[in-house]
Structure 1
Amino acid sequence: MKEYKANKIAADEKYKGKILVVTGTVINIDEFVKPYITLASESGYDIIGVQCEFDKDKKSELAKYTKGNKLKIKGRCKGQVINVQLEDSEVVQNLGKVTTDFDKDMQDLKKSTDELEKLQKELEQYGQ
């Protein structure tokens, strides 16, 4: 992912047509021409992810996964359109459910910030 963000042309020359194994958190499971799973980028918050396209006969296998599953997927790199694209994909390993959630993380961060501000005000009162 980092290489595609840094230079799409160089990354395509290095990876296009090659078999890659990627690990990430499922953010979308859908079907266009073929069924696919989209994995989040490493940080989880970037636009660029990895879209893994599967053969139609794998559709029932994909039905057992949900958003938040962490998967290891193998496929042939087609390059990058919006996401990095893999074709002829197969799930190598299901690494379980990821428990973190962006909205929850942001709420927790806000709570921590509020608590720090409250503590800072209390310390200022004692300091005077």
Structure 2
Amino acid sequence: MAIVACPDCNKDVSDSAPACPNCGRPNSKPVTNGSTPKPPATDARPVGVMLALGILVLPIVFAWFTLGKGRTSKARILAFGYLVLSIVFVSMQGGSSSRSSSTSSASTSSSVSAPAPEPAKEQAMQVGIGQILSDYKGNEVAADNRYKGRLIQVTGAVGDIKKDFTNNLYVTLGTGAMYELPSVQAFFDDSMNQQLGNLRKGQKITVVCRVKGLMMNVLAEDCFIK
């Protein structure tokens, strides 16, 4: 604490006073109570292995010496009491460490084992066979922007039921008109071989496919019959 002159009345005033006692001018120097912040409390550290062994070994040696001749019963009681207390102390420290480890492991396990949310299932866009064929006839670019890469559901009349040059199974679908071009060329995997073998020309079927674009026909892959 120091004595300084008040700027207003030139009277002596303590630098720790909140205001001048003569004229009432507030002291510009902040008032401190002289206290220092306490360091944050730290968690108690568990007893180390070597320290635990030392705590246990010394009472055992002490108790063993009291078993010899010439040792009083009082000395033996004190030695074995000390041994029991040491065992209890080490056991308590080990138990608290195990509980802390178990809690940490359980929280980590629960966070890891939480199932990830399943992605939303894609919904097929329903479109008429005449609509998609008309769109690709009129403007291929606009039709690609609308259909390409999308999953569609379309119903049409069966045209050809064939295999391409690489033995991929496909069925052409159209409106039923004669010599229709383009048509939807739907490709199927080999697991659909039996179902495709039962189809007939002109039969109406509904398929779900992913559109690839126009190449003579409107190509569609990964198809299955609904």
TM-score (norm 2): 0.39
Match of 2:177 in 1: 44
- RMSD over aligned Cα atoms: 1.2
CA distance in 2, matches of 1:43, 1:67: 9
Query: Which residue type is aligned with residue 26 of structure 1?
Result: V
Q: Which one of the candidate residues 174, 185, 198 is aligned to 1:64? A: 198
Identity %: 35
Q: Which one of the candidate residues 147, 154, 166 is aligned to 1:15? A: 147
5+ long unaligned stretches in structure 1:
93-128
Higher relative contact order by CA 8 Å / sep ≥ 6: 1 or 2? 1
CA distance in 1, matches of 2:176, 2:157: 10
More strand by share: 1
The structure with more radius of gyration: 2
Once the 2 structures are TM-superposed, how far is the Cα of residue 57 of structure 1 from its aligned partner?
Answer: 1.7
Matched, 1:25 2:25: no
Q: Deviations over 1:34-82 (max 9, x none)?
A: 1010012x36243111000001221111111111111111100001101
TM-score (norm 1): 0.67
CA distance in 2, matches of 1:25, 1:84: 15
SS, match of residue 71 in structure 1: strand
- 1:1-128 matches, within 5 Å, as 1-32=133-164, 33=166, 34-40=168-174, 42=175, 44-45=177-178, 46-92=180-226
5+ long unaligned stretches in structure 2:
1-132
SS, match of residue 44 in structure 1: coil
